[in-house]
Amino acid sequence: MLPRSQIVLLISLATAGIISAFSSRIDDYILDVVLGIGINIILAVSLNLINGFTGQFSLGHAGFMAVGAYAAGTLTTGPGKAWIAAAGVSPAVLFPFVLFAGGLAAAFVGLAVGAPSLRLKGDYLAIVTLGFGEIIKVILQNIESLGGSRGMVGIPSYTTFFWSFGAAAITIYAAWALVNSTLGRGFLAVADDEIAAEAMGLNTTRYKIIAFVTGAFFAGIAGGLYAHLKGYISPAGFDFNKSIEIVVMVILGGMGRHVGVVIAAVLLTVLSEKLRDFGDKRMIVYSALLILLMLTRPQGLFTWKSARKASPG
């Protein structure tokens, strides 16, 4: 008999598969929004590992998403297309491996960014990740073989309901399992009081890096899914505002909460779709929301009982 959590995961995957089989009957626009929800759930849940459970503050999640999107896009559209054709396997079959490769690329970059900045306590990670998001944009804009600032076009649409929500289910399961493991206790200890955790003999840097790299990995997967959903990616699409959107999801849902963050990801995706016509004014709402939440409900909107971790930081 499998543990209950794994049964839940298998049922979710099966449900996603069944719905996916009927997805051709869903209106194209609605399907696009719904698949976007799955991707945003992955982004929010993975950022929650860093910003919520481990109490760090990353502002560069869109940057890792960009790395994953470009890595996966390169494999199916760019130079990698020839290799896959040479292998003689249908590219759609290889899609999960492509996503995985995108995740690995993002995780690797996450390690390079996180290792120096996570050695320190305090707010350095926020600035480094913010800067990293800008650097990634500049670098991508300067690589002509990836389309430069025009972006990468003609990416095949492999992202189906199954892949979007299957990956979301796996991300939620992985985050849940990780937080409830020995490693996860370490994350919580670092979030609660880094000095105390260090005094107890925990290698706090190690825990922070593990949380950060795992978060980056799933952001990379989300990026791959995004690229193969929209069919077009450009450096400008992964800007600071995108990172902030994910941060707002985590804060709205409650840092260090699984369910709240998923609800917030769904709500905010729908909300930004509704507010699309307002363009930039959407960001006024987001930023005001951020300030008001911190002043009045720092534990998030969807947190009723105070559980293991009541306050951020």
- Does 295 interact with another protein (rule: CB under 8 A)? yes
- 147, 74 Cβ separation under 8 angstroms: no
Footprint on residues 54-93 left by another protein (CB under 8 A): 55, 57, 59
Q: Which residues pair with 153 in a beta bridge?
A: 232
Q: Measuring CA to CA, which residue among 97, 119, 135, 303 is closest to residue 212? A: 119
Q: Which is nearer to another protein, 93 or 288 (CB)?
A: 288
Query: Nearest distance from residue 162's CB to another protein, in Å?
Result: 35
Query: Nearest distance from residue 103's CB to another protein, in Å?
Result: 23
- Does 7 interact with another protein (rule: CB under 8 A)? no
Q: Where are the alpha helices (DSSP H) in the chain?
A: 4-21, 28-47, 61-76, 80-87, 91-117, 124-142, 161-179, 182-192, 194-199, 204-230, 240-253, 258-274, 281-296
One residue of 240, 267, 275, 302 binding another protein per CB under 8 A: 240
Q: Which residues pair with 152 in a beta bridge?
A: 233
Whether the CA torsion 227, 231, 233, 238 is positive or negative: it is negative
- Does 126 interact with another protein (rule: CB under 8 A)? yes
- Does 247 interact with another protein (rule: CB under 8 A)? yes
One residue of 19, 298, 301, 302 binding another protein per CB under 8 A: 298
- Does 267 interact with another protein (rule: CB under 8 A)? no
- Does 283 interact with another protein (rule: CB under 8 A)? yes
Q: Could you write out the DSSP letters of every residue in 160-221? A: -HHHHHHHHHHHHHHHHHHHTSHHHHHHHHHHH-HHHHHHTT--HHHHHHHHHHHHHHHHHH
- Does 203 interact with another protein (rule: CB under 8 A)? no
One residue of 48, 54, 117, 303 binding another protein per CB under 8 A: 117
One residue of 142, 157, 181, 203 binding another protein per CB under 8 A: 142
Among 31-39, 79-87, 88-96, 136-144, which window interacts with another protein (CB under 8 A)?
136-144
Give the separation between CA 224 and CA 85, rounded to whole angstroms.
19
- Does 308 interact with another protein (rule: CB under 8 A)? no
Query: Nearest distance from residue 130's CB to another protein, in Å?
Result: 7
One residue of 26, 33, 139, 275 binding another protein per CB under 8 A: 139
Amino acid at site 254: G
Tokens of residue 198, six digits = 């260090």
- What DSSP character marks residue 122? S
Query: What is the binding site for another protein (CB under 8 A)?
Result: 55, 57, 59, 113, 116-117, 119-124, 126-128, 130-132, 134-135, 138-139, 141-142, 195-196, 240, 244, 247, 251, 255, 280-281, 283-284, 286-291, 294-295, 298, 311-313
